[in-house]
Structure 1
Protein backbone atom coordinates (compact mmCIF):
# COMPACT_ATOMS: atom_id res chain seq x y z
CA UNK A 1 0.00 0.00 0.00
CA UNK A 2 1.49 3.32 -1.06
CA UNK A 3 0.02 6.34 0.72
CA UNK A 4 -1.02 8.66 -2.08
CA UNK A 5 -2.70 12.07 -2.11
CA UNK A 6 -5.20 13.55 -4.57
CA UNK A 7 -3.79 15.37 -7.59
CA UNK A 8 -6.04 18.35 -6.75
CA UNK A 9 -7.33 18.81 -10.29
CA UNK A 10 -7.83 22.55 -10.98
CA UNK A 11 -11.18 23.94 -9.85
CA UNK A 12 -13.40 24.86 -12.78
CA UNK A 13 -12.35 21.79 -14.79
CA UNK A 14 -15.26 20.35 -16.78
CA UNK A 15 -16.26 16.84 -15.74
CA UNK A 16 -14.69 14.36 -18.15
CA UNK A 17 -17.17 12.18 -19.98
CA UNK A 18 -17.50 8.52 -19.05
CA UNK A 19 -19.66 5.55 -19.97
CA UNK A 20 -19.09 2.60 -17.65
CA UNK A 21 -20.97 -0.52 -16.53
CA UNK A 22 -22.64 -0.52 -13.11
CA UNK A 23 -21.39 -3.67 -11.34
CA UNK A 24 -24.81 -4.29 -9.74
CA UNK A 25 -27.29 -3.73 -12.58
CA UNK A 26 -24.99 -4.10 -15.58
CA UNK A 27 -26.48 -0.90 -16.98
CA UNK A 28 -24.24 1.66 -18.63
CA UNK A 29 -23.78 4.79 -16.52
CA UNK A 30 -22.66 7.94 -18.34
CA UNK A 31 -21.94 11.53 -17.41
CA UNK A 32 -25.05 12.48 -19.39
CA UNK A 33 -27.18 10.58 -16.84
CA UNK A 34 -26.48 13.47 -14.45
CA UNK A 35 -26.98 16.42 -16.81
CA UNK A 36 -30.04 17.68 -14.91
CA UNK A 37 -28.47 17.48 -11.44
CA UNK A 38 -27.51 20.55 -9.42
CA UNK A 39 -24.39 18.71 -8.26
CA UNK A 40 -22.52 15.54 -9.15
CA UNK A 41 -20.19 13.62 -6.85
CA UNK A 42 -17.75 11.28 -8.58
CA UNK A 43 -15.86 9.03 -6.16
CA UNK A 44 -12.98 6.72 -6.98
CA UNK A 45 -13.10 3.85 -4.52
CA UNK A 46 -12.32 0.15 -4.37
CA UNK A 47 -13.18 -2.81 -2.22
CA UNK A 48 -9.86 -3.80 -0.63
CA UNK A 49 -8.27 -0.46 0.41
CA UNK A 50 -8.10 0.07 4.19
CA UNK A 51 -8.80 3.79 3.70
CA UNK A 52 -12.06 3.00 1.86
CA UNK A 53 -12.98 0.29 4.37
CA UNK A 54 -12.47 2.87 7.13
CA UNK A 55 -15.11 5.21 5.62
CA UNK A 56 -17.43 2.80 3.78
CA UNK A 57 -20.30 3.23 6.25
CA UNK A 58 -20.12 7.01 5.77
CA UNK A 59 -20.04 6.60 1.97
CA UNK A 60 -23.24 4.57 2.22
CA UNK A 61 -24.77 7.13 4.62
CA UNK A 62 -24.03 10.01 2.24
CA UNK A 63 -25.91 8.15 -0.49
CA UNK A 64 -28.92 7.68 1.76
CA UNK A 65 -28.82 11.18 3.26
CA UNK A 66 -28.79 12.88 -0.15
CA UNK A 67 -31.07 10.41 -1.96
CA UNK A 68 -33.94 12.93 -2.08
CA UNK A 69 -31.75 15.84 -3.14
CA UNK A 70 -30.59 17.14 -6.50
CA UNK A 71 -27.17 15.48 -6.06
CA UNK A 72 -26.07 12.76 -8.43
CA UNK A 73 -23.53 10.27 -7.09
CA UNK A 74 -21.45 7.69 -8.90
CA UNK A 75 -18.59 5.58 -7.55
CA UNK A 76 -15.93 4.23 -9.88
CA UNK A 77 -13.31 1.55 -9.33
CA UNK A 78 -10.38 1.47 -11.72
CA UNK A 79 -7.96 -0.91 -10.00
CA UNK A 80 -6.11 -3.62 -11.91
CA UNK A 81 -8.13 -6.73 -11.03
CA UNK A 82 -5.52 -9.16 -12.36
CA UNK A 83 -3.16 -8.20 -9.55
CA UNK A 84 -5.90 -7.06 -7.12
CA UNK A 85 -8.73 -9.60 -7.54
CA UNK A 86 -10.54 -8.26 -4.43
CA UNK A 87 -11.50 -5.28 -6.60
CA UNK A 88 -13.08 -7.35 -9.37
CA UNK A 89 -16.62 -6.35 -10.40
CA UNK A 90 -18.26 -9.27 -8.54
CA UNK A 91 -16.49 -8.21 -5.30
CA UNK A 92 -17.54 -4.60 -5.86
CA UNK A 93 -21.10 -5.81 -6.39
CA UNK A 94 -21.00 -7.71 -3.09
CA UNK A 95 -19.73 -4.55 -1.34
CA UNK A 96 -22.50 -2.43 -2.91
CA UNK A 97 -25.13 -4.92 -1.78
CA UNK A 98 -23.65 -5.27 1.72
CA UNK A 99 -23.71 -1.48 2.16
CA UNK A 100 -27.06 -1.12 0.37
CA UNK A 101 -25.60 1.71 -1.70
CA UNK A 102 -28.06 4.22 -3.12
CA UNK A 103 -25.81 4.95 -6.14
CA UNK A 104 -24.01 2.90 -8.77
CA UNK A 105 -20.47 1.58 -8.56
CA UNK A 106 -18.95 1.38 -12.02
CA UNK A 107 -15.94 -0.57 -13.18
CA UNK A 108 -13.36 1.31 -15.25
CA UNK A 109 -11.57 -1.64 -16.84
CA UNK A 110 -9.52 0.49 -19.27
CA UNK A 111 -8.59 2.94 -16.49
CA UNK A 112 -9.20 5.76 -18.98
CA UNK A 113 -11.88 7.41 -16.84
CA UNK A 114 -9.59 7.42 -13.81
CA UNK A 115 -6.89 9.03 -15.95
CA UNK A 116 -9.32 11.63 -17.34
CA UNK A 117 -10.21 12.65 -13.76
CA UNK A 118 -6.54 12.48 -12.65
CA UNK A 119 -7.66 10.12 -9.91
CA UNK A 120 -4.66 9.08 -7.84
CA UNK A 121 -5.94 7.34 -4.72
CA UNK A 122 -8.84 5.51 -3.16
CA UNK A 123 -10.85 7.29 -1.98
CA UNK A 124 -10.65 10.28 -4.32
CA UNK A 125 -13.61 12.70 -4.47
CA UNK A 126 -14.65 15.12 -7.23
CA UNK A 127 -17.71 17.37 -6.80
CA UNK A 128 -19.14 19.24 -9.79
CA UNK A 129 -21.79 21.95 -9.97
CA UNK A 130 -24.86 22.19 -12.23
CA UNK A 131 -22.60 23.15 -15.16
CA UNK A 132 -20.51 20.05 -14.40
CA UNK A 133 -17.54 22.22 -13.44
CA UNK A 134 -15.30 21.09 -10.60
CA UNK A 135 -15.96 22.94 -7.35
CA UNK A 136 -14.46 20.53 -4.79
CA UNK A 137 -11.75 17.93 -4.84
CA UNK A 138 -10.52 16.87 -1.49
CA UNK A 139 -10.97 14.74 1.54
CA UNK A 140 -14.11 13.27 3.06
CA UNK A 141 -12.89 14.51 6.45
CA UNK A 142 -9.68 14.31 8.44
CA UNK A 143 -10.24 10.81 9.83
CA UNK A 144 -7.71 8.17 8.79
CA UNK A 145 -7.56 4.49 9.74
CA UNK A 146 -4.87 5.10 12.35
CA UNK A 147 -5.50 8.60 13.76
CA UNK A 148 -8.48 7.94 16.03
CA UNK A 149 -10.57 10.81 14.64
CA UNK A 150 -14.26 9.99 14.01
CA UNK A 151 -15.53 9.56 10.46
CA UNK A 152 -18.03 12.39 9.94
CA UNK A 153 -17.78 13.28 6.25
CA UNK A 154 -17.74 16.94 7.34
CA UNK A 155 -15.56 18.35 4.54
CA UNK A 156 -17.35 16.61 1.70
CA UNK A 157 -20.79 17.21 3.23
CA UNK A 158 -20.04 20.93 3.68
CA UNK A 159 -19.04 21.13 0.01
CA UNK A 160 -22.16 19.26 -1.14
CA UNK A 161 -24.43 21.41 1.03
CA UNK A 162 -22.87 24.61 -0.32
CA UNK A 163 -23.32 23.55 -3.96
CA UNK A 164 -26.91 22.43 -3.38
CA UNK A 165 -27.62 25.79 -1.70
CA UNK A 166 -26.11 27.66 -4.66
CA UNK A 167 -23.21 28.96 -2.56
CA UNK A 168 -19.47 29.04 -3.13
CA UNK A 169 -17.20 26.67 -1.24
CA UNK A 170 -15.13 29.03 0.88
CA UNK A 171 -13.10 26.70 3.10
CA UNK A 172 -9.63 25.43 2.22
CA UNK A 173 -9.76 22.12 0.40
CA UNK A 174 -7.46 19.43 1.79
CA UNK A 175 -6.38 16.58 -0.49
CA UNK A 176 -7.81 13.15 0.05
CA UNK A 177 -5.28 10.44 0.87
CA UNK A 178 -5.45 6.70 0.52
CA UNK A 179 -4.01 3.77 -1.34
CA UNK A 180 -2.71 4.53 -4.80
CA UNK A 181 -4.88 3.43 -7.69
CA UNK A 182 -3.58 0.06 -8.85
CA UNK A 183 -2.59 0.83 -12.42
CA UNK A 184 -2.08 -1.94 -14.92
CA UNK A 185 1.59 -2.42 -15.68
CA UNK A 186 2.65 0.11 -18.28
CA UNK A 187 -0.61 2.06 -17.92
CA UNK A 188 0.52 4.48 -15.21
CA UNK A 189 -0.53 8.06 -16.06
CA UNK A 190 2.08 10.80 -16.33
CA UNK A 191 0.74 12.60 -13.23
CA UNK A 192 1.20 9.47 -11.11
CA UNK A 193 4.25 8.74 -9.02
Structure 2
Protein backbone atom coordinates (compact mmCIF):
# COMPACT_ATOMS: atom_id res chain seq x y z
CA UNK A 1 0.00 0.00 0.00
CA UNK A 2 1.45 3.30 -1.09
CA UNK A 3 0.22 6.56 0.39
CA UNK A 4 -0.54 9.15 -2.27
CA UNK A 5 -1.20 12.87 -2.15
CA UNK A 6 -3.54 14.37 -4.74
CA UNK A 7 -2.67 17.66 -6.44
CA UNK A 8 -3.86 20.86 -4.82
CA UNK A 9 -6.88 22.88 -5.91
CA UNK A 10 -7.31 23.97 -9.52
CA UNK A 11 -9.60 26.89 -8.60
CA UNK A 12 -12.66 27.34 -10.81
CA UNK A 13 -12.55 23.92 -12.48
CA UNK A 14 -16.21 22.91 -13.10
CA UNK A 15 -17.75 19.88 -11.43
CA UNK A 16 -18.41 16.97 -13.78
CA UNK A 17 -21.87 15.44 -14.00
CA UNK A 18 -22.40 11.77 -13.21
CA UNK A 19 -25.18 9.23 -12.94
CA UNK A 20 -24.36 6.50 -10.44
CA UNK A 21 -26.28 3.99 -8.31
CA UNK A 22 -26.46 4.59 -4.58
CA UNK A 23 -26.45 2.07 -1.77
CA UNK A 24 -30.09 3.05 -1.13
CA UNK A 25 -31.18 1.77 -4.58
CA UNK A 26 -31.58 5.25 -6.10
CA UNK A 27 -29.69 6.76 -9.03
CA UNK A 28 -27.82 10.02 -8.31
CA UNK A 29 -26.53 12.88 -10.44
CA UNK A 30 -24.59 16.04 -9.73
CA UNK A 31 -27.78 18.13 -9.60
CA UNK A 32 -29.39 15.72 -7.13
CA UNK A 33 -26.49 15.93 -4.68
CA UNK A 34 -25.63 19.63 -4.62
CA UNK A 35 -26.81 22.03 -1.98
CA UNK A 36 -27.77 25.66 -2.64
CA UNK A 37 -24.32 26.84 -1.45
CA UNK A 38 -22.14 24.08 -2.88
CA UNK A 39 -21.17 20.44 -3.01
CA UNK A 40 -18.53 18.23 -1.45
CA UNK A 41 -17.58 15.28 -3.70
CA UNK A 42 -15.63 12.61 -1.80
CA UNK A 43 -13.87 9.55 -3.16
CA UNK A 44 -13.75 6.98 -0.38
CA UNK A 45 -13.86 3.21 0.07
CA UNK A 46 -14.61 0.71 2.82
CA UNK A 47 -11.21 -0.91 3.35
CA UNK A 48 -8.76 2.04 3.31
CA UNK A 49 -7.14 2.70 6.72
CA UNK A 50 -6.99 6.43 5.92
CA UNK A 51 -10.76 6.53 5.35
CA UNK A 52 -11.44 4.40 8.44
CA UNK A 53 -9.34 6.82 10.52
CA UNK A 54 -11.54 9.80 9.56
CA UNK A 55 -14.98 8.35 8.81
CA UNK A 56 -16.59 9.43 12.10
CA UNK A 57 -15.28 13.00 11.70
CA UNK A 58 -16.30 13.04 8.05
CA UNK A 59 -19.87 12.00 8.91
CA UNK A 60 -20.02 14.70 11.62
CA UNK A 61 -18.73 17.38 9.24
CA UNK A 62 -21.09 16.43 6.40
CA UNK A 63 -24.07 16.53 8.78
CA UNK A 64 -23.07 20.00 9.96
CA UNK A 65 -22.37 21.22 6.41
CA UNK A 66 -26.01 20.49 5.49
CA UNK A 67 -26.93 23.35 7.83
CA UNK A 68 -24.73 25.64 5.70
CA UNK A 69 -26.39 24.62 2.41
CA UNK A 70 -23.58 22.28 1.33
CA UNK A 71 -24.55 18.93 -0.17
CA UNK A 72 -22.22 15.93 0.08
CA UNK A 73 -21.76 12.74 -1.92
CA UNK A 74 -19.32 9.85 -1.50
CA UNK A 75 -18.17 7.80 -4.50
CA UNK A 76 -16.44 4.42 -4.36
CA UNK A 77 -14.41 3.77 -7.51
CA UNK A 78 -12.12 0.87 -6.55
CA UNK A 79 -11.94 -2.38 -8.56
CA UNK A 80 -14.36 -4.53 -6.56
CA UNK A 81 -13.20 -7.77 -8.18
CA UNK A 82 -9.68 -7.26 -6.85
CA UNK A 83 -10.97 -5.67 -3.61
CA UNK A 84 -14.22 -7.46 -2.70
CA UNK A 85 -14.32 -5.70 0.67
CA UNK A 86 -15.31 -2.61 -1.31
CA UNK A 87 -18.15 -4.46 -3.09
CA UNK A 88 -21.65 -3.05 -3.26
CA UNK A 89 -23.09 -5.24 -0.48
CA UNK A 90 -20.31 -4.11 1.86
CA UNK A 91 -20.88 -0.50 0.81
CA UNK A 92 -24.57 -0.88 1.69
CA UNK A 93 -23.74 -2.44 5.06
CA UNK A 94 -21.24 0.29 5.96
CA UNK A 95 -23.53 3.14 4.87
CA UNK A 96 -26.35 1.68 6.97
CA UNK A 97 -24.23 0.86 10.04
CA UNK A 98 -22.72 4.34 10.14
CA UNK A 99 -25.92 6.14 9.03
CA UNK A 100 -24.19 8.08 6.26
CA UNK A 101 -25.82 11.52 5.88
CA UNK A 102 -24.86 11.50 2.18
CA UNK A 103 -25.42 9.19 -0.79
CA UNK A 104 -22.73 6.50 -1.18
CA UNK A 105 -22.34 5.72 -4.88
CA UNK A 106 -20.63 2.97 -6.86
CA UNK A 107 -18.50 4.02 -9.85
CA UNK A 108 -18.11 0.52 -11.31
CA UNK A 109 -16.70 1.78 -14.62
CA UNK A 110 -14.26 4.08 -12.75
CA UNK A 111 -15.14 6.79 -15.28
CA UNK A 112 -16.22 9.34 -12.66
CA UNK A 113 -12.99 8.99 -10.68
CA UNK A 114 -11.00 9.37 -13.89
CA UNK A 115 -13.03 12.41 -14.98
CA UNK A 116 -12.45 14.12 -11.62
CA UNK A 117 -8.79 13.17 -11.49
CA UNK A 118 -9.24 11.37 -8.17
CA UNK A 119 -6.05 9.64 -7.08
CA UNK A 120 -6.61 8.33 -3.57
CA UNK A 121 -9.07 7.52 -0.83
CA UNK A 122 -10.00 9.85 0.67
CA UNK A 123 -9.89 12.54 -2.02
CA UNK A 124 -12.06 15.64 -1.49
CA UNK A 125 -13.39 18.11 -4.08
CA UNK A 126 -15.22 21.15 -2.65
CA UNK A 127 -17.41 23.18 -5.03
CA UNK A 128 -19.16 26.52 -4.60
CA UNK A 129 -22.75 27.42 -5.53
CA UNK A 130 -21.73 27.65 -9.22
CA UNK A 131 -20.10 24.18 -8.96
CA UNK A 132 -16.60 25.63 -9.41
CA UNK A 133 -13.79 23.88 -7.55
CA UNK A 134 -12.66 25.81 -4.48
CA UNK A 135 -11.14 23.11 -2.23
CA UNK A 136 -8.96 20.07 -2.84
CA UNK A 137 -7.49 19.39 0.55
CA UNK A 138 -7.60 17.08 3.51
CA UNK A 139 -10.21 16.61 6.21
CA UNK A 140 -7.71 17.43 8.95
CA UNK A 141 -4.26 16.36 10.16
CA UNK A 142 -5.28 12.68 10.38
CA UNK A 143 -3.34 10.00 8.54
CA UNK A 144 -3.71 6.25 9.04
CA UNK A 145 -4.72 7.07 12.60
CA UNK A 146 -7.08 9.80 13.68
CA UNK A 147 -5.45 13.16 14.34
CA UNK A 148 -5.68 14.74 17.78
CA UNK A 149 -9.18 15.51 19.04
CA UNK A 150 -8.43 19.24 18.82
CA UNK A 151 -7.08 19.10 15.24
CA UNK A 152 -8.38 22.03 13.16
CA UNK A 153 -11.36 21.01 11.01
CA UNK A 154 -9.78 22.09 7.73
CA UNK A 155 -12.34 20.67 5.29
CA UNK A 156 -15.29 21.84 7.39
CA UNK A 157 -13.87 25.37 7.71
CA UNK A 158 -13.09 25.52 3.99
CA UNK A 159 -16.58 24.38 2.98
CA UNK A 160 -18.22 26.80 5.43
CA UNK A 161 -16.14 29.63 3.91
CA UNK A 162 -17.24 28.49 0.45
CA UNK A 163 -20.89 28.50 1.58
CA UNK A 164 -20.51 32.06 2.88
CA UNK A 165 -18.28 33.63 0.18
CA UNK A 166 -18.24 31.24 -2.83
CA UNK A 167 -14.42 31.14 -2.44
CA UNK A 168 -12.19 28.54 -0.84
CA UNK A 169 -9.10 29.24 1.25
CA UNK A 170 -5.87 29.96 -0.61
CA UNK A 171 -3.86 27.77 1.77
CA UNK A 172 -4.81 24.11 1.48
CA UNK A 173 -3.04 20.91 2.58
CA UNK A 174 -3.27 17.91 0.25
CA UNK A 175 -5.19 14.88 1.43
CA UNK A 176 -3.31 11.64 1.93
CA UNK A 177 -4.59 8.14 1.34
CA UNK A 178 -4.39 4.83 -0.48
CA UNK A 179 -4.34 4.84 -4.25
CA UNK A 180 -7.57 4.26 -6.17
CA UNK A 181 -7.53 0.56 -7.10
CA UNK A 182 -7.76 0.80 -10.89
CA UNK A 183 -8.84 -2.18 -12.98
CA UNK A 184 -6.27 -3.55 -15.37
CA UNK A 185 -7.45 -2.61 -18.84
Question: TM class by shorter-chain length?
Answer: over 0.9
Alignment of 1:73-112 (within 5 A): 73-112=72-111
Equivalent positions of 1:1-40 (< 5 A) are: 1-8=1-8, 10-23=10-23, 25-34=24-33, 37-40=36-39
Q: What TM-score do the two structures reach when normalised by structure 1?
A: 0.89
Do 1:75 and 1:103's aligned partners in 2 also have CA atoms closer than 8 Å? yes
| Contact 1:7 1:119 (8 Å CA) reproduced | no
Report the CA distance between 1:168 and its aligned residue.
3.1
Corresponding residue of 2:42: 43
Query: CA separation in 1, counterparts of 2:25 and 2:63?
Result: 21
Q: CA RMSD in A?
A: 1.8
Bigger mean CA deviation after superposition, 160-169 or 102-111: 160-169
The equivalent residue for 1:189 is none
Number of residue pairs the alignment of both structures matches: 185
Query: Structure 2 regions of 5+ residues with no counterpart?
Result: none
Shift, 1:151, TM fit = 7.4
Q: How does 1:111-150 map to 2 (within 5 A)?
A: 111-146=110-145, 149-150=148-149
After TM superposition, give the deviation of residue 21 of structure 1 in Å: 0.4
* 1:164-189 superposed Cα distances (whole Å, 9 cap, x missing partner): 11253334111101000000013xxx
Structure 1 unmatched runs, 5+: 187-193
Deviation at 1:153, TM superposition (A): 6.3
Cα displacement string for residues 83-122 of structure 1 (whole angstroms, at most 9, x for unaligned residues): 0000001111111111111110000000000001100000
In 2, Cα distance between the equivalents of 1:172 and 1:120?
20
CA contact (8 A) 1:58 1:153 kept: no
The SS at the match of 1:66 is: helix
